[in-house]
Structure 1
Amino acid sequence: MKCAIIMDNGFEELEAMGPIALLRRGGVDVDLVSVHDDHVTGRFGVTYSKTTPMKDYDFDAIDCLIIPGGAHAKKLEANPDVLELIKKVANDDSKVLAAICAAPTILGKLGLLKGKDYTCFKSMNEDFGGNYHYQYVVEDGNLITGISASAAEEFGFAILEKLTGKEHTDEVKASIYYDAAH
């Protein structure tokens, strides 16, 4: 399995790092893709210095596209290449589209949440034509949405389970002593 996480400067670090670490721990390849350069810096100054510029990346080879939230969401929303990529992935039944916090609003503005169950950062929710749920993670088919940075771990596990199955995900959870009840 292969995921690409797309970022521009200002991404929310926890929403990127959590899923990256959990997916890699679970044996999923995760490629870091920046919109412009070979590096990208998050909201709190964490820089990923080995990213692949979007123009050089083969998105046809992925099983999942992950979009973290943060201030970069406005930049992603204003980028026609990113919007085309999101639409392409959303319309491919063989691919998973995962967005967290502010990022699901991009999908909503593209009309991709119509008739879907979803979540996003509560104050950013608009009438996107779908069914908003105030919970950590919501899945609807191949769409996975997360509410905020506090949901990064649950979001990462939801993606892992969608890609590799519940049994494997439970093994990864056990390897880090994950207990959802505590």
Structure 2
Amino acid sequence: MKAAVLLDNGFEELEAMGPTALLKRAGVDVDLVSVKDGPVVGRFGIAYQPTLPFSSYDFDQADCLILPGGPQHETLRRNEAVLKLLHRFAEDDQKVLAAICASPTILGQEGLLKGKRYTCFTALNQDFGGTYVDAYAVTDGNLITGRSAAASIEFAWAIMEKLCGKEHCDQVKASVYYKPVVQ
């Protein structure tokens, strides 16, 4: 399995690196893909490299596209190539589309949450035509959404279970001594 984490300056570090680290523990090949050339700088000033350039990345090889939140969601929302890619993943039943915190709002504004169960950063929720769920992570078919930085681990587990199966996900949880959060 392969996942691509889409990054631009201002991404929320925990929402990108938490799922990346846990997915790598599960044996998922994870690529950090930068919308701009060169290293990207997260919300709190941490630069990440190496990243692969969006312009030459082969998204056909990725089974999952992950969008961390943070201030980057504004620049992603204005990028036509990114929006086209989101639609491509949403329309392909062999691909998983995962977005956390502010990034599910991009999906909502693109009409990709219509008829879906989802979550997002609560203060940014609007009428996206779906059903907002008050939970850390929500899976609806091949769509996975997460609420906030606090939900990064639950979001990662949801992605892992979808890509690797429940049994493998449970093994990784046990290997890091995970205890479920009671909501």
TM-score with structure 1 setting the length: 0.98
Within 2, Cα distance between the matches of 1:39 and 1:135? Answer: 33
Within 2, Cα distance between the matches of 1:29 and 1:2? Answer: 5
Aligned runs of 1:1-182 on 2, under 5 Å? 1-180=1-180
4+ residue runs over 2 A deviation: none
Within 2, Cα distance between the matches of 1:75 and 1:181? Answer: 32
Task: Mark the runs of 5 or more structure 2 residues left unpaired by the alignment.
Answer: none
Task: Mark the runs of 5 or more structure 1 residues left unpaired by the alignment.
Answer: none
Within 2, Cα distance between the matches of 1:148 and 1:59? Answer: 25
Residues 5-47 of structure 1 show CA distances to partners (whole Å, capped at 9, x for unaligned) of 0010000000001000000000000000000113111000111
In structure 1, what residue type is equivalent to 2:11? F
Indicate the SS of the match to 1:5.
strand
Alpha-carbon RMSD across the aligned residues, in angstroms, is 0.8
Q: Give the % identical residues.
A: 63
Q: CA deviation at 1:181?
A: 5.2
Q: CA deviation at 1:154?
A: 0.4
In structure 1, what residue type is equivalent to 2:97? L
In structure 2, what residue type is equivalent to 1:20? T
Count of residue pairs the alignment pairs up: 182
Indicate the SS of the match to 1:156.
helix
